[in-house]
Amino acid sequence: MQVIIQPTAEKAARLAALLIADQIGTNPFTVLGLATGRTMERLYSQLVELYSSGKIDFSKCRSFNLDEYVGLEPTDPHSYRSYMNRNLFDKINIDKESTHLPDGVAEDYAAEARHYEELIEQAGGIDLQLLGIGRSGHIGFNEPLSALRSRTREKGLTRTTIDQNSPLFDRPEDMPSRAFTMGIGTILDARKILMVVTGSEKADILAKAVEGPVTSMISATALQLHESTVVIADEDAARDLQAQDYYHWLYENEPEWRKYHDKV
């Protein structure tokens, strides 16, 4: 795992977007794993900007989102499908037919979960998975005690997650308490992982996720088992990390990062 600290949330999002642009530049057929949430909104607007200035072509990409609320139609404005259309898909040249989210209104949860895993496999697996982290330590909606090898399934959400996300609903009580989510095992199968974490309210959980012991109580700690994970944090979120000096040194000195210095 590499941790990169940027001075602001804006710069963290910018660097993440540049990494994605490079990935798609190298492999135009990239299969993207996508996330939703407030952190990703900033990142998606950077991606839209790069697309609008001709620096990314999404036309051959395919995508799989991490999760979707159970019980919400894709057309519901609070569904993650609507979120993705609004924040990214409607603004870039990805073929919507190549974008996938679990079907929140599927009747047979187990069959839908199996089908989603099969679709990912048929696409050849995920090349680059984007992640945020929840205050409960979740990645996707893998709440505490999710098995570290779990696959896509339907899951109950914790009170912490409901408190985190219900303000985004017109009536907070309308937030579903269950969701489909890729499992931790599904996420760890991605060839590369890019997690973006911003804001002081994530400082405590980020330190536990990155520098604490691996535990199913904090799903994000499983990323320590992955061979190619980059975590980009802003200074507020990085506040509690013990090895900050080393992470700064890495970004300043490693050749792979130097090329981004004047672009961020």
Select the span of 86-94, 128-136, 146-154, 252-260 touching ligand F6R (CB under 6 A).
128-136
Q: Please select the residue that binds ligand F6R; options are 102, 104, 132, 176, rule is CB under 6 A.
A: 132
Select the span of 9-17, 23-31, 137-145, 237-245 touching ligand F6R (CB under 6 A).
137-145
Nearer to ligand F6R, 225 or 243 (CB): 225
Q: With binding defined as CB under 6 A, does residue 33 bind ligand F6R?
A: no
Nearer to ligand F6R, 10 or 57 (CB): 10
Q: With binding defined as CB under 6 A, does residue 23 bind ligand F6R?
A: no
Q: With binding defined as CB under 6 A, does residue 36 bind ligand F6R?
A: yes
Q: How far is the CB of 221 from ligand F6R (least distance, A)?
A: 14
Q: With binding defined as CB under 6 A, does residue 153 bind ligand F6R?
A: no
Q: How far is the CB of 82 from ligand F6R (least distance, A)?
A: 13
Q: With binding defined as CB under 6 A, does residue 232 bind ligand F6R?
A: no
Q: Please select the residue that binds ligand F6R; options are 139, 206, 237, 264, rule is CB under 6 A.
A: 139
- DSSP structure string for the chain: -EEEEESSHHHHHHHHHHHHHHHHHH-TT-EEEE--SHHHHHHHHHHHHHHHTTS---TT-EEEESEEETT--TTSTTSHHHHHHHHTGGGS---GGGEE---TT-S-HHHHHHHHHHHHHHTT--SEEEE---TTS-STT--TT--TT--SEEEEPPHHHHHHHGGGSSSGGGS-SEEEE--HHHHHTSSEEEEEE-SGGGHHHHHHHHHS--BTTBGGGGGGG-SSEEEEEEHHHHTT-TTHHHHHHHHHH-HHHHTTTTT-
Q: With binding defined as CB under 6 A, does residue 38 bind ligand F6R?
A: yes
Which residues contact ligand F6R (rule: CB under 6 A)? 35-39, 66-67, 132-134, 138-140
